[in-house]
Structure 1
Amino acid sequence: MNTEFVMPVPPFPRTPAEDEKLRGRLTGFKAGYDEGYLRGRLAILDGRPEEPLPVRNIHVMYVASGKGYPYSPLDDAVLYSLQKLTAKVTVTDVHQNLVEQAAVQRPDLILVLDGLDLSTEKIAELRSKGFKTAIWLTDDPYYTDYTMKIVVHYDYVFTLERNCVEVYRSLGCAQVHYLPFAAHREHYRPVTGRSQIIRDVSFIGSAYWNRVSFFRNIMPELMSYNTVINGIWWDRLPEAPLYGDRIEVGKWMSPQETAVTYSGSKIVINLHRAHVDEVENNNALSIPAVSPNPRTFEIAAAGTLQLSDAREDMGTFYKIGEEIDTFSTPLELMEKVRYYLTHEEERREMALRAFERTLKDHTYTKRLNQLLTVIYG
């Protein structure tokens, strides 16, 4: 179906000034048409109900990370999904007396998120009393110096990094499973009306040193577009003061604020952190990261085009070049920014395909259903 905007041009002669005015009107009409078409398609897709999943007659005690923001949105997503998929959920966190709570509540499964602040002695005592335990690790492989010390204490280990599976199995963990994060639709969804934010390009994330180095090479051209960078530590970028409030320093954005920003951007850059940080390295084995980060799914769920640095396992989740696109160098990123900002229909259709794929395959209810299927069949 041809969705290009066509507006008739009056046949009578015009002055150069009238030509310029008409071109401006045509550009404005076309931009409005493109935006309206995208928002309308997104609204239709967003209105579709999620595929029904089985509700298991089990009682899950969910142990939240206890770390507050930015982990609390993950807790919200997991809890929301568990409540849809199980008969009963009891919520607690790593700072509570879990042994005492479990003795009273008698859950079928104790599911821990992150777990770095939970003593392994508590987990050992719970298992000794017959409780089934599972942990979903949030930051692999970046904190494997710590996670390798705790995973052996759980019945089931779920990691969002494919390369950590065999590492944990080599430690003696019998049940290790690859389970990346996803998009929480209550947090990340597209703006289907007129967006309050209008950007060409956005990047949201902390200024890890690999990101600072990557962006420094292309800052003049990248910022020649309507580009805004948000996140903490961007005072590490020496050129940051040159761009004023277009590089926001020192702010954590809420999921809802992030989703609105994604949705109002024509392109969102997803640049993963390095698996070994130049300053703070908690991955002594230098386990490479090949799996997509949570933002991969969240950007797609906001209904916008994503340009991500190429990761080996990205193609498992999205069709590269059809649903999202990737880059390997700063120059390749800029080539694709230029291309998609001048090929509106391709940008729009790719964003729509990624959005539809995310709703179908990459929500937290789908991930928690996978987790429960591993444990209960």
Structure 2
Amino acid sequence: MSKDFILPVPPLPLTPAEQAKLEGRLNGFKNGYSEGYLRGRLAILDGRPEEPLPVRDIHVMYVGSGKGYPYSPLDEAVLTSLQSLTAEVTATDVHQNLVELAGAKRPHLVLVLDGMELPLEQIDQIRGMGIRTAIWLTDDPYYTDFTLGIVNHYDYVFTLEQNCVEYYRQLGCTEVHYLPFAAYRPHYRPTISRTPIARDVSFIGSAYWNRVNFFREIMPQLMEFNTVINGIWWDRLPDAQLYGDRIEIGKWMSPQETAVAYSGSKIVINLHRSHVDDAFNNNTLAISAASPNPRTFEIAASGTLQLSDVRDDLPSFYKPGEEIVTFSTPQEMMDKIRYYLANEEERQAIALKGLERTLRDHTYPKRVNQLLTIIFG
């Protein structure tokens, strides 16, 4: 026998503990690579320059809601978009003397956000000066008992709910336009570095009764995963105390905190509030809701997979199964959570396509440009 020939030594069998350790290391490498790949792709998309939009030689007086949080981030989004798209913006809010300010500044347009606390006689006087007025309603169809009495005082009405358009037109409003909100990129964008939050599933929002009733059916299943729920009133949920700090009760999260939680979650649930809710709504006509809520765009802008309940007009904004995933029942939602947590590549592909679509079509400068185009051509 040649001295260079060495019989192979069979590897020693691993103990169960060693096998588990090896599998853990391999899974760690795999998950780390997958996470790094996702963050890299998110960084590429997030770093693309936005499409340039025209800057109009006009002066807009922007009237903020005056309501504070959570409306103040909307005010910021609209105001900064106006400032980037017009020659001059005068910023004020509903608590100021708008007639005096408009008379001194003579803007081409007075744009009001929400307008629920604005004395309508001020808008009437501004229109009497020959200045165009517009309102962008923030909460349709949930407070239509109030908005139905407001809209006739403006030249242009913009609503984020498609089903409200015809109701306002029936009141005699000739310029009613469907204009949903969008994603404000300084607030909602993906976390590019290693995220400080790591969750399987997140839901962030107030515990309206339709949400409580929806979740109570599947809480034990949902909490089998690393799931966290944030928002006010979640003590309404039976057995909420059993889940400890995985249900954060009574916490308002800033947009930046919310975006970090979204981006650090593999799946984010978007469950819309109901248009029928005697405890919180003022919608006597029971106008139904067909349009996606603002969270739809904010979740997608954060670079995560969004599971949303079905809304009739949702496909106008995202392709179900490609850019967003939808569900109709609690059990269907759970089935899809299990599927996408087990199929990482599909989950990431939909998240990336959702982000790409948002950056292309659903940012506030795009929406504000659309509003200005309707008014000024």
- TM-score range (shorter-chain normalised) is over 0.9
2:64 is aligned to: 64
Tell me the amino acid that sits aligned with residue 68 of structure 1.
G
The residue correspondences of 1:24-43 to structure 2 (distance < 5 A) are 24-43=24-43
CA distance in 2, matches of 1:360, 1:254: 25
SS across alignment from 1:116: coil
1:89 partner SS: strand
**CA offsets per residue over residues 11-42 of structure 1, 9 Å max, x none?**
94541433222111111111101100000000
2:106 paired with 1:106:
yes
1:181 correspondence with 2:181:
yes
Amino acid aligned to 1:210: N
- 8 Å contact from structure 1 (residues 62, 110) kept in 2: yes
**Aligned mates of 1:155, 1:198 — CA distance in 2:** 48
Seq. identity, %: 74
Distance (whole Å) between structure 1 residues aligned to residue 42 and residue 279 of structure 2: 42
Task: Say which is worse superposed, 275-284 or 70-79, in terms of deviation.
Answer: 275-284
Q: What RMSD over aligned residues (CA atoms) do the two structures have, in Å?
A: 0.9
Q: Which residue of 2 aligns with 1:161?
A: 161
Q: Return the offset for 1:280.
A: 2.8
Q: Number of residues paired by the alignment?
A: 367
Partner of 2:121: 121
Q: Which moved more, 1:271-280 or 1:17-26?
A: 17-26
Q: Which runs of 5+ in 2 are unaligned?
A: 1-9
Question: Residue 270 of structure 1 corresponds to which residue in structure 2?
Answer: 270
SS at match of 1:326: strand
Number of the residue aligned with 1:253: 253
Q: What amino acid sits opposite 2:102 in the alignment? A: A
Superposed counterparts of 1:275-286, under 5 Å: 275-286=275-286
Runs (5+) with no aligned partner, structure 1: 1-10
Q: Structure 1-normalised TM-score? A: 0.96
| Alignment partners' CA distance in 2, 1:42 and 1:13 | 43
Q: Distance in 2 between matches of 1:281 and 1:42?
A: 38
Q: How does 1:1-377 map to 2 (within 5 A)?
A: 12-17=11-16, 18-377=18-377
Deviation at 1:276, TM superposition (A): 1.2
Contact 1:189–1:302 at 8 Å: present in 2 too? yes
- 1:247-283 residue CA offsets vs partner (Å, 9 max, x unmatched): 0111110000000000000000000000011423300
CA separation in 1, counterparts of 2:281 and 2:188? 31
For 1:79 and 1:160, how far apart are their aligned partners in 2?
A: 17
2:79 alignment partner AA: L
When normalised by structure 2's length, the TM-score is 0.96
Matched letter for residue 289 of structure 1 = A
Maintained 8 Å contact 1:209/1:278: no
Q: Distance in 1 between matches of 2:300 and 2:85?
A: 24
2:149 alignment partner, SS class: helix
Distance 2:15 2:106 in 1: 80
Q: Which has the larger radius of gyration?
A: 2
Q: CA deviation at 1:239?
A: 1.4
Q: In the aligned structure 2, how far is the partner of 1:100 from the partner of 1:214?
A: 50
Alpha-carbon shift at residue 224 of structure 1 (Å): 1.1
C-alpha distance in 2 between matches for 1:104 and 1:14: 87
Q: Which amino acid aligns with 1:27?
A: N
Name whichever of 28-37 and 15-24 sits farther off.
Answer: 15-24
319-328 vs 274-283, greater mean Cα deviation: 274-283
Look up the equivalent residue of 1:163 and give its one-letter code: N
| SS of equivalent residue, structure 1 residue 149 | coil
Secondary structure of the 1:24 match is helix
